[in-house]
Amino acid sequence: MALKAKNRRIQSSSNKRARKSKFQADVAPAEDRTIRLLKEELQLSSNTDFLSDALALFGWAVSERKLGNKIISESVSGERRVLVFPRLERVAPDGALRRVEIQWTKRELESLAKLVSVPEANQPTEALIRAMRD
């Protein structure tokens, strides 16, 4: 009897190996078109291939931001653009986040305080809009 129980445990543990799981997503029609176009452009025949590649790319991006690295696109002419993706910033170390210090004058602080202390309004005032542009 003990032998049978042991054999069953061995068989059931081998059946517990990594099982493929199903993934289903409800996407808006525009996103569905985008997925189809990308699959066609990348010559991917299945949603599984698309998702696997997307996961690999996203996983790499997450690991790079965790290290504090920026993800940059560089054109042929040398123009560089930094990827701005708020969800990736959640994993970036605090030290990697850019800090800006503004040296406010007393007059500027008083003016800003006056602008933002107006009772709740539905729309920002023209003065606040001008102040934010400067």
Residue 16 lies in a domain: no
| Confidence class for position 117, pLDDT limits 50, 70, 90 | confident
Q: What's the structural domain count of the chain?
A: 2
Query: Are both 34 and 53 inside the same structural domain?
Result: yes
pLDDT for residue 80: 94
Residue-range definition of the domain harbouring residue 59: 29-99
- pTM of the predicted structure, to 2 decimals: 0.55
Domain co-membership, 112 together with 127: yes
- 114 Cβ neighbours under 8 A, 6+ residues apart: none
Asked if residue 10 belongs to a domain, the reply is: no
What is the Cα–Cα distance from 128 to 115, expressed in whole angstroms? Answer: 6
Q: What is the pLDDT of residues 67-95, one digit of tens each?
A: 989 999 999 999 999 998 889 988 988 76
94 and 79 housed in the same domain: yes
Q: Could you tell me if 79 and 119 lie in one domain?
A: no
- Residue 65 has a CB neighbour count (10 Å cut-off) of 21
| 33-57 tens-digit pLDDT | 999 999 999 999 999 999 999 999 9
Residue 81 has what DSSP assignment? E
- What does the alpha-carbon distance between residue 53 and residue 59 come to, in Å, rounded to a whole number? 10
Query: Do 89 and 121 share a domain, yes or no?
Result: no
Considering the domain architecture, whether residues 33 and 82 belong to the same structural domain is answered as yes
